[in-house]
Structure 1
Amino acid sequence: MLAKAEKTRDELEERLLKEQQTRKLTIEAHKTQNKKIEELKTFLKDVLSSEEGLLDDDDSEFPSSVEPVQIPSEPHAVRIVEVVEDTDHSFELNVKALESILLDPKVADKKVAVIGVAGAYRKGKSFLLNFFLRYLKWRSNAEKVNGEIELEDAEWMYPTVPLQGFSWKGGSERDTNGILIWSEPFIMKDKNGEEIAVLLMDTQGAFDSQSTVKECATIFALSTMISSVQIYNISQNIQEDDLQHLQLFTEYGRLALEDSSAKPFQTLLFLVRDWSFPYEAEFGFTGGQRILDRRLEASEKQHVELQQLRQHIRNCFENISCFLMPHPGLRVATNPNFDGKLTEIEPEFQQQLKGMVPRILDSHSLVHKEINGQKITCRALLEYFKSYMKIFQGQDLPEPKSMLRATAEANNLAAVAASRAVYQRLMEEVCGGGTPYMSTSELLEEHERCKNEAIREFRNARKMGGVDFSLTFLQRLEDDLQESYENYLKVNNGKNLFKSMRTPAVLVTLMIVDYICQEFFQLLGLDGIAGIFSSILVIVIGALSVWAYSRYSGHLREAGTWIDESVSYVWKNFISPNAGNLGPLGNAIQLGEAVSGGSGNKTVNATRKNQ
């Protein structure tokens, strides 16, 4: 059996090298042929133009009987989501490229599995994904050669072949932009023998110097929403900040899905790279599960926030697992010319890689992409992809913030709340519910004093974000204090006996005037005019009854408020301006206005104008 497997491996490796050489020679031959055709066309055009002038500058009339040879397109990584960093950091979906992959007649109506990799930048995501790609290529070729394959003894890693596929390189600078999908879906069979299309998806690394928090959140969330298996690539250990970032990104995706009734995502695999503690937990899935259980364990000793974080992660995914991967070796990390050959990688890394990749892509382990419990096809995945992109391109989702900005906002909001409490405490001492009425001018002076104390409290508080950042919250505080002052002004006016009795006094006065006018015009025999005053009298009596019922019972408050506003309008526009012409009654009105401190609304408007 071992000899057969080695023979199969040698045959496949030799075949792969021959295919690469043949493809390279074919492309070079096609390029050479195209170049000769163009040279021939140029030569004939020059000859004919110089002798007969038959051809003009537009060569569209040239009778080209020989068409250039179309260079066959090799499978490659296709960028389907691009981040436009030169302008507004928006996202663009390459619909045509995505359609060419998902609407291919060979896979359009087949169920689909999507393997995605996401995480921080420069942690080897693309490098790792190329081994998934190599395995799928090997499996596809092996099934064509031998039909059935023996996975246990199979050798698919090709130790001497350079690693190709998704773009990758060593160094400290970012290499991947946006989201990429391999242009050739691989057709495999699931555990039930049904053919399924397998897609590999690579993503832009998070937390680099060019990406905003929104970009990182959107890329990770979109990848998680599309993938049936999301590989979360992290370095050395599962730390608390890794879990916090996962919580932020998955919550952003959950908001886009608008469905919190069920677990929104499928399978999450924590892939811990460069694990250095095999004496605590062995490499592979078994040790990884042990570490994962420790990190996601919630206990009563933990802070409530930490417990909620762990519960959130478990509620977001149907299945969660972990794999511990050793370091590939110093020759990989320090050699700028490393091309991915396994001969330069540590044997332990090779061994774990050989165990992990088939485990994820094995027929019995393939995870169908499901949405709302239904397995979807490549054709349906295209529509979901476009729908998700519209959501992230819109304005409905909140803007995710960095931890510093979120903390600074919370810190400044706490300072605003504390300063507002100082203002309210001081104002309650001056004009609270148990204090007597105060003139509006005196209340305004107390308001200015208490407001200055509150602003001083805000400025003296230690706040994050800097002075410019805090100015927005200072303005918010001033707006809140002005709103509170207007409320205190209304409460204070309610204590004024003259103002509280204004509505019934005006209504009673109108009743008396209407009655006198009605009787007067009846004596003169002008019954029509007397009827008008009689109708007004009925309306005024009804208004007074409704107002009294509203104040006594608390019902019909809107009607009572409307009557108060109507009476205030009559008072300000007709009675108060003409108080000097009303004799002793006018003097009483002017005295009441002076005692009440003038119009509260005018004072409020003056305050706003001064501000």
Structure 2
Amino acid sequence: MSGQTVSMKEPVCLIENDSDGKLRVVRSALDILDKIDQHVVVVSVVGLYRTGKSYLMNKLAGERKGFALGATIQSKTKGIWMWCVPHPEKRDHTLVLLDTEGLGDVEKGDEKNDNWIFSLAVLLSSTLVYNSMGTIDNNALEKLHYVTELTEHIKVKSNQRDGEESSEYLRYFPSFVWTVRDFTLTLEVDGRPITANEYLENALKLRTGHSKKDQAYNLPRSCLRNYFSPRWCFVFERPASGDKMRRMEELTDADLEPAFVEQAKEFCDHVFNEAKTKTLKQGLKVTGRLLGNLAETYVSAIRSGQIPCLDNAVLALAQIENSSAIERARAHYQKRMADWVAYPTETQEELSEVHAAMEKKAVAIFINNSFKDDDQKYQLELMKVLQEEYEKICERNYKESQKACESKIECIFAPLEEKIRDGSYMTPGGYKEYCNDLKLATSEYRSEGGRGVKAEEVLKEYLERKASIGQAVLSADESLTEAEQRAEAEQARREASERENRAMEEQLVVQERLRADQQRTYEENVNQLMERMERDSRNAIAEHDRVLQARLKEQKDLLQQGFDDRAHQMQREIDAIKGAKAQEEEKKPSFMSTALDTVGTAATLFLPGILPKVGGMAVKWLSKWF
């Protein structure tokens, strides 16, 4: 998906607190996101205030300045700020950087607001970066208590029960990167060198025991292990001396410690190559416009005192996006048809071929920008809308053909009309001259291009109006015997009948082509629908596999660390995931057949010329799946 993107020179505020202290989305930021048709990789950074979060985000944006850097104890970033830049590696993606206000700001002292900021960062991002100072010890994990309260601020389902399996959150939550600034320890355990990732996993090991102290120790660790996968860690040495630290925005890489510069590069390379496209359930890829709608939906729920619900957000967005997808498809079709169709087209086939190409692209635009259209309501609406647009174009083509033909007749038959007016044919031998002139003019008219799809019908109507004149000329021609006049009259009737047949055949060709267009419309929509259903099913199965592998790894780690009870309890989650995956695989044939039946039956209401052929198409697609 190439699509349209933007390149911002500096960040803007996306979410702020209003005068009442409530969160709100900034309209101008939404306007920017609304212009981004590309898929987005969304990287959010969170952490305690004054830990250098903004510096990392500026590095990701490829700039020294942008997100505010502070050299005092005050938090510089308020709310959530956004910077959209072209992705340096994925050319068809936009990188959206979200810098959040520092958590635990002593001046602000609003822990509830901190929780919502943290929750929104989780909800909006595809990669969440948590930034801290020093080491990952128990104190650092206790300060990350926001992760232990996520289930109080985010719901997956509207009817969610307390204690809902963590695997449901794992489906939606972003990957996790812990960045540790001013790290002074040696990365080793028992004298053995370890990686930063191993350092993080070692810090997340649980403690045996059931005391309140043990439970408090394990809670943030369990939440990180259960909600976020995969996880990475990067450690950074102190970038410069204290004096230089106060002038970070002015410094170049040459002014910083070489080790820090290299570590920052490794972090950026990781984000550019490993951070995934933001997705929703079943792998739906998010565009900038959809990200803006997500932010509005979540903040609206928070403002109204509700807990943001992921499933509800997807359903609400589906209504907005699917209606928008229809309009975008219609607009594309209208514009491209206006660009490509030169009225009148010489044949209906010529118009049909342009229509087929533009409709195919319009359907693809809808398919790529719509989701959760489980009953095909919106796709059927699209089919109806495009059919109505095509009918308008065909009607215009008829009228333009009529005008072109009448203009050509007026020009070509002008000499004949002049002779009729001055009585040139009302003499002996005049009827033969009249017939010859009529034949020559008719032949010239039929040899002309640019007449369109009503060429014979307009000619027939014109010559029908001239029939009485021909009879008058014939009756006045004294050079013809009575028998010859009867023969000429019979010849005139045969020629009129031939013109009638030509006009009927011309219209039959048009109608047959229109019926073929309707059939092709139906089959094009069904083919693209089936391809999307197949893709959605693959994404759903891949999602089950990803969560399953994460749960199996966690279960294995628990067993190795001696937490047999926890590992056995996790088996219930694992079995549920396996069951959901099996159900997804089993439902494909019936789901596809139902969709085909729904589309075929409903489409006949506005595409009366189609033969749905549900059985044959079902067999075709089932053979692809199995």
Same fold? TM cut 0.5:
no
State the TM-score bracket (shorter-chain normalisation): 0.3 to 0.5
For the pair shown, the structure with the greater C-alpha radius of gyration is 1
Q: TM-score, normalised by structure 2?
A: 0.42
